[in-house]
Each structure stands twice: as C-alpha cells, then as structure tokens.
Structure 1
Amino acid sequence: MDSDNQAIKQWLRDHQISEVECLVPDMTGNARGKFIPAHQFLDGDDPRLPESIMVQTVTGEYSDEHWEFVEPTDTDMILKPDPSTMRLVPWAREPTAQIIHDCYTQDGELHPLASRSVLRRVLKLYESAGLKPVIAPEVEFYLVARNTDPDSELTPPTGRSGRRESARLSYSIDAVAEFEDFVEDMYDYADAQALDVDTLIHENGAAQMEINFRHGEPMALADQVFVFKRTVRETAHKYGMYATFMAKPMQREPGSALHIHQSLLDAETGKNIFADGNGEPSDAFMSYIGGLQRYTPELISLYAPNVNSYRRLAPDISAPINLNWGFDNRTTAFRVPNSEPAAMRVENRFPGADANPYLALAATLGSGLLGMQQNLAPTKPHQGTANEDAVEVARTLEEALRKLSDTAALRDMFGELFLRAYAAVKLDEFEEFNRVISSWEREHLLLQV
C-alpha cells in the first residue's frame, strides 16, 4: 500500500494536479465522494464517507429497514484509492484528478455494501479456481434535447442540419455525423482518460448510440464503464443536450442495453477454456451457459435495477424476455457469436444501460461460475426467433426482488447483507414509484371504471 501511495503522489505531482475527485460508485453505479485539494490529499489521512450512502435510494430516501444494514451511529467507511484508476478530468477548468476508491470497514475489511466489493468477491472466487475472466461491454445511450419538465416526453436533439431524427437509422454514418462535434469531443475525453473504447455505431433508436469497449479484465472494464457514463453526460452538456442511460427513455423507441461479452482463460496457460481441443464449445462453456440460465431469474434485478428497466424487457426483438441461448442469434438472451476458438465467448444481452456495471458483471460472472461448479446443462440452442416464446423473467422490479435471495449459493457469493440491503433499497423505490398516478390511468380510468 505504501508503494501505491507513492505512485499516486508522484502521478499527482507530475500532472500538477490542484484538486482530486475521490470517487465511490454507489448502489446505482453513480459517483459519490469528495473533492479534496491535492496538497491535502497528499498529506492527509484516508478520506471517509458515511456508510449510509450505500443504502440510499435513487430519490435520496432511505428504506424503513435502513438501520438493519448500517450502524445506528452511521459509521464512516474508510476510502482507499486504487492507483490503477487514476485519470485526469478532461472537462475540468483546473488540473483535476479522479481516483476511484475502495470502501473499507473500521476493521479493515472490504465494505460488504460497496458494489466494487461485491465484484471483488466474485473475482476472488475465479482466482481461487485458477481462471481469468475476460469481458467486453457494449454500452448504448440516447442523446436527447434538454428537458427540465419531468411531465414532458423526451425528444431527440437537433443535429447540425437543424433537424431532429424521425426515422430508424441503424448503423447510419450520416446520422452519427449529425453530432460530429459531440462524438469528436467524447473520443478526445475518452483518450485523455485512457478508456479502451473501440467502435461507435448509431443504434436503432432516434439519436441512439452504442460504444464498444475492447476486451479486458472485469474490474478495469467496470471502472471504465463507470467513468464513461460520466464522460458522455459531461460531453452532452457541453453541446446543450442530455445523454441518458435510462433503459427505456422513450415510449416509441427501443431500449438501451449494456451487453456483456465474456470468456474464461486458464490462468496458467492463457488458453480460452470455452473451446475444446477441436475448437468446439467445451463442457465448461456449456455449464457456464447453464449457470446463466439457472441463476438469471434470481439475479435479474442486478441487470434491471430500476422500475423503468422492465419497460425494456418486453416482447420485442430489441431485448430478451426468456432464457434461450443460441449461436449468432440476437433474439436470444445468451448469444454465442461466430468466432475463432481463441475468442469463443457468450454475450449476455439482459443487462440494461442503467445497470450498475460492477453488479451486472458480478451477476453474470457469478452465474457462470456456479454453473461450472454444479455441472449444469443448458437447454438446446434455440433456432429461430426467441421472442416468440413465453416470457420467463420478471416483468416488474418488485417481482424480480422477491426472487433475489432464494438460493444459499448466491447468498454466499454476494453476501447476505448486501442482497438484503439491495432488495430493501430497490423495494422502497418501487413503492415510491407505485404511489405515482400516471397519465394513462387518468386518461382511461377516470370516467370509465
């Protein structure tokens, strides 16, 4: 740890940093933390935050069970900087650094409610098994016109032509060029932060984009998605727009996903264990897919964490509704792309763009690991359109949360305290949302029931 601190201090001095953003991903995957002058960060004690921020709802409230998960005195967590996450803040006026921190208890243990801690637990199990997960996320988002009235529907922003998109323009080069200045600055900001972003495409929705990341180590990629979301929002603000990662921001447009490609390497040989000696899917690969099928119904709330998330998971070709898998079949939940044996992988298409990347990765990697440990067998690969089959996953946040801690294996893997706290926070959000009377209800029920 001393060598880490020395590396951080040298990096801050080399970049003449005047202020440090000490960041902690909260339960939603958004940034909490403190701004600390660089000289104080260099010479002071480890920063601290109250542990109660880990059980705060998206509206800033607390569940009735709040004190079951944190100390009644609202004890401080101790924050430890991860030197691998040091990045400049390219949109800041003064030289500013951002550093993601791990959260620890007063006893020096990783805090069980921190989402980074949850992913670390799963990755530790892989390390003990002699395996190295490799993942590659694909992140979708919408650009929308500024909207300060929550009662008004979102609309696409005006592009450089002075017009708004009104047609489905998947993979359109010209549609992306409408926001060329935004795209160029987004890439510049990503380069300045050493984000491994790869291709950018225009997705199916109006002003909907997708960015692909190069494959790599799960914690590093979770950190990058966390930073990328901040980056896109900041870039959009610069051009008078919003960028949203809501799973389903507009009624007539498709939802936004966080697709996760994943494979496993033997830590000793570096070989992909998902392919056998003949280049065919291995038994381990089949069991991994079996684990995804077995545990996704219980973990769906980690892929779809908000009330809005389930508007995306509807009988439509753009998102999965059941547990089918298939070869190069984008209608299935778990797609095996055509690839060379060394790149044999499965793509989990359940997570929404609104998912906490740390928790979504923990869920998908944890499910696959349990599948291999238990030698689970998947169903036969699906042929044809999977969306024509029956719905097999929860359609509301409440339904999803009621299944979250059914299995002892999941409680052991993620920590019972975390699962109970997560369910309590998200159920509180559901109940608060459920108290809102919608315009649909007023329109169709006011005088007709």
Structure 2
Amino acid sequence: MNDKKSMNFNDLEQWLNDRRVTEVECLVPDLTGVARGKILPRVKFTEDRGMRLPQSVVAMGVTGEFPESGPYYDVIDPTDKDMQLRPDPSTVRIVPWASDPTAQVIHDCFDHLGNLVPFAPRTVLRRVCDLFAAEGLQPIVAPELEFYLTARNTDPNTLLRAPIGRSGRAETSRQAYSIDAVNEFDPLFEEIYDYSDKMELNVDTLIHEIGAGQMEINFFHAEPLGLADEVFFFKRTVRESALRHDMYATFMAKPIAGEPGSAMHVHQSILNKATGKNIFSNEDGTPSDAFMHYIGGLQRYIPAAMVLVAPYVNSYRRLSRNTAAPINIEWGYDNRTVGIRSPISSPAARRVENRVIGADANPYVALAMTLACGYLGLKNKIKPKAEMKGDAYLSPYALPRSLGEALDWLRRESELHEVLGKEFITVYSEIKELEFDEFMKVISPWEREHLLLHV
C-alpha cells in the first residue's frame, strides 16, 4: 500500500484504466462502521470526482433511526443538508467478488465550506492523529480482530450455532489454536486470503480462537487511518465470503451464550517522527516515562470512553467475569487477564495492547479512542497504577457494566470531548441513547422465564 499513499486523482484514473474498471462503489463508513454510499458508472465517477449525501447518513443508529429532537440537531442541521463526499485515492481497491470490473473507494465528508464533517468517523481519527503529528509523533497500531462463523440463521429468535465444516460436523467443543479446526473451513479461508491479496490488505496470521467457530485475524502494524480502512474493508470481505460458503460471519461482541466474546485487541506504539525511534523505550532499552504516561492515560480515560468501543447493549455481555475478556484497566507485562497488556518484545518494538475493545466497535472510532486516551496520558504526564502481576479477573470491576452507564461516564469526561471533538461526542451519544431506548422496549426470554410467574 505504500505506493498508494501519495496517489492523486490522475493516478487514481490511471489505476482504474489499468484494471478496466466499469463501476465504482463510492463508500463512506457511518458511525456503526457500515458502508454507505452509491455505486456509480465509471464515467460519472470520473466526471463528478465525488458525490453528495445527507449529513444524517453517517450519523444514524444501527437500526437506521434518528433522534426526533434534542442536542443531535445542534450539530446535524434539521433540514438535513448535503455533505460533499470526496474520494481518497489512497483507499482504492478492486472488488474481487464483483462479476464486472468494479472498484471501491472510501470517501471523506466535507461541508459546503470545504471543512471536514466533524462527526464522520474518519474525521475523528484524523483529528487525533493530527494531535500527535503536532507533537512530532507518529502512532503505529496493529489490530487483532476476532469473529465467529455460524450456520445461516434467518430467524432472530433462534439461537446461533456453529457451521458445518468439511467433515460434515459442527464444532461442539472449544478448539483454541487448533490447526485441524481451521482446516475444516479451508475453502472459505483460502477465498478470504485470495480476496485480501487482491485488495492489498495487510493481513497476517489466522488462528482459531477459544470459542466454537471463533476465529482471529491479525494485521501487520502500520499508521492508524490506513489500518482502520483495512479493517473496514476486511469486515466486508469476511461477511461476503462467508455468505458464498453458506454461512454467516459475525463481529458481534457476544453472539453465543456460554462462549467467549469477540474482541479487537489493538497494539500501539508511538514513534518520534524526526528520529523514527519508539518513544516507549529509553536509549538503554528500559521503559521510558512516555511508556508509563501512555499507560496512565489509558487507565485514566478508558472507563469514560468505553461506550466508544463497547457501542451496543450486547457489548457488555462480553465484559464480565469468566468470558476471557477484561473487567478492569489493570496493566501488566505479558498478562492476558489485564485490560492493558505489554507483550514481551525488544525495546524497539515495545508496545501497549488495549484488550477492552470489542470486535463490534467501529475501527475508526476504536483507534481514535485508544490513541486519545494515550495522548492525554502523555500530555498530562499521568502515572499508572502499579503493575498487576497476578490474575486481574480477581480484581474489582472498573469498567461500566451497561450501555446506559457508559453513556453517563462519557458525558462527564470533558477532556475526551476536547480531543475527539464536541460535535462527534454529541452526535454519538444521542445515537447511542436512541439505540438504548429501542432496546429497552424489547422483553427478553430471560424475563419471561424467570419473572412471568415468580414475581
């Protein structure tokens, strides 16, 4: 992807010509991470070099609803004005499953004055990266994304189950790191790797995670915006491939009761742009003050920022005891029970792994969140708690336990509002409040089973 970073529109046109592209999927990621946009004939794409969409397209809930009133409309114009969407040439990829030569290009959102729309997810991540750049720093990240393969399920009232593999049987037990269990789905994964290669996605290792039908893909480390784009593309790719093999792929945080949840662990380090050196290590190879301050920032601000990376009511089912997910923001070296882990590495590769982020998080918002917390730690020189050397699952909860509680915590943390942008926080919070209200209208089977005749 290095050759694409400096692409301009002329380069983009040549790229499309070389591949004889006839259609272009013009994409913009919304708050949930869903691809919105239009499919244009190549000629119209070339003539327009962009498109218009309503502001609300990137600011709707997962149900497609909008608030009827309130602070949302202090940011979103009540007349739902158009945004001007401009393609980012560096994001162009082929659509490998399309029957005709088709490209996909991610667009940035601008208002009529030419300013980036502040509540668009890509804008939020750009904003945080710009704060690091102003300090002469470059964040480097590497996501690890978990997901489940399930049998097709067209009835939301039916429990999900593992899909049938090559053997003709479904998994019924946990197969962590099993090669044979991965091989059950070789045709699917061969297609995923083939599609990823054609799309120039920098995917690395595929492993079988703990749950039945649960997989994990790792990405090579790179700069945040490009990697968020890759996660965005990868999610589309996995879902499409799974459907072609008569199964579903889901990035829900907790899709199956009794099985572990799915996370998006994010490894992160910070480079000095002038020297290219990792600021987390001193010259003698010992951990630097910056390393400790970054961890301190994560510990200080992650609890208030949880709704950004645990965005749905389902997300909090993952963040509970005995689910292989963190319940607090303790930190430690090579300790997978903590929320903030530092893997064993060379001084040059010293990094921090944020383990609280769910697979259901929007990748742009998730990276913006963890970098914002670390940035505030660096700026405010926040010292972390003492390293957790034991089992952090035995420590008290230190994260919000529900979507409603998480929203309250975010609203009170003004420093995060300044870093991520007040307009974004307002729109995001109002959308999540709407989703929470929608969920509360639904009566669950648990309530009917245990309350109907007992209370």
TM-score (norm 1): 0.98
Aligned position for 1:157: 163
**Superposition pairs for residues 220-235 of structure 1, below 5 Å?**
220-235=226-241
Aligned position for 1:8: 12
Aligned position for 1:204: 210
Residue among 249, 262, 269 paired with 2:268: 262
Residue among 28, 31, 45 paired with 1:41: 45
Distance in 2, matches of 1:55 and 1:40, equals 26
Aligned position for 1:341: 347
Identity of aligned residues (%): 56
Residue among 41, 48, 65 paired with 1:61: 65
The amino acid of 1:20's aligned partner reads V
Residue among 30, 34, 46 paired with 1:26: 30
Deviations 1:181-220 (A, max 9, x none): 0010000000000000001000000011000000001001
**Superposition pairs for residues 90-109 of structure 1, below 5 Å?**
90-109=96-115
Distance in 2, matches of 1:416 and 1:317, equals 34
Deviations 1:238-297 (A, max 9, x none): 100000000000001100000000001100000011011221110000000000000001
**How far off its partner does 1:395 sit?**
0.8
**How far off its partner does 1:317 sit?**
5.3
Q: Residue 277 of structure 2 contacts residue 348 of structure 2 at CA under 8 Å; is this kept in 1?
A: yes
Q: Residue 289 of structure 1 contacts residue 371 of structure 1 at CA under 8 Å; is this kept in 2?
A: yes
1:188 maps to 2:198: no
1:251 maps to 2:257: yes
Aligned position for 2:298: 292
Aligned position for 2:173: 167
SS class of match (2:410): coil
1:391 maps to 2:391: no
Moved more, 2-11 or 402-411: 2-11
The amino acid of 2:288's aligned partner reads S
SS class of match (1:211): strand
The amino acid of 1:94's aligned partner reads D
The amino acid of 2:165's aligned partner reads G
Aligned position for 1:354: 360
SS class of match (2:80): coil
Distance in 2, matches of 1:46 and 1:288, equals 39
Aligned position for 2:247: 241
SS class of match (2:249): strand
SS class of match (2:412): coil
Distance in 2, matches of 1:337 and 1:431, equals 40
Distance in 2, matches of 1:238 and 1:308, equals 27
SS class of match (1:264): strand
Q: Residue 317 of structure 1 contacts residue 387 of structure 1 at CA under 8 Å; is this kept in 2?
A: no
**How far off its partner does 1:69 sit?**
2.4
**How far off its partner does 1:303 sit?**
1.1
**How far off its partner does 1:11 sit?**
1.0
Q: Residue 13 of structure 2 contacts residue 46 of structure 2 at CA under 8 Å; is this kept in 1?
A: yes
SS class of match (1:100): strand
Unpaired stretches in structure 2, ≥5 consecutive residues: 1-5
Q: Residue 28 of structure 2 contacts residue 58 of structure 2 at CA under 8 Å; is this kept in 1?
A: no
* Cα-Cα RMSD: 1.2
Distance in 2, matches of 1:333 and 1:54, equals 30
**Superposition pairs for residues 121-140 of structure 1, below 5 Å?**
121-140=127-146
Q: Residue 261 of structure 2 contacts residue 323 of structure 2 at CA under 8 Å; is this kept in 1?
A: no
Distance in 2, matches of 1:430 and 1:68, equals 21
**How far off its partner does 1:45 sit?**
5.1
Residue among 85, 88, 91 paired with 1:85: 91
Distance in 1, matches of 2:49 and 2:166, equals 49
The amino acid of 1:11's aligned partner reads W
The amino acid of 2:47's aligned partner reads D
Residue among 197, 200, 213 paired with 2:219: 213
Distance in 1, matches of 2:230 and 2:116, equals 21
Aligned position for 2:307: 301
Unpaired stretches in structure 1, ≥5 consecutive residues: none
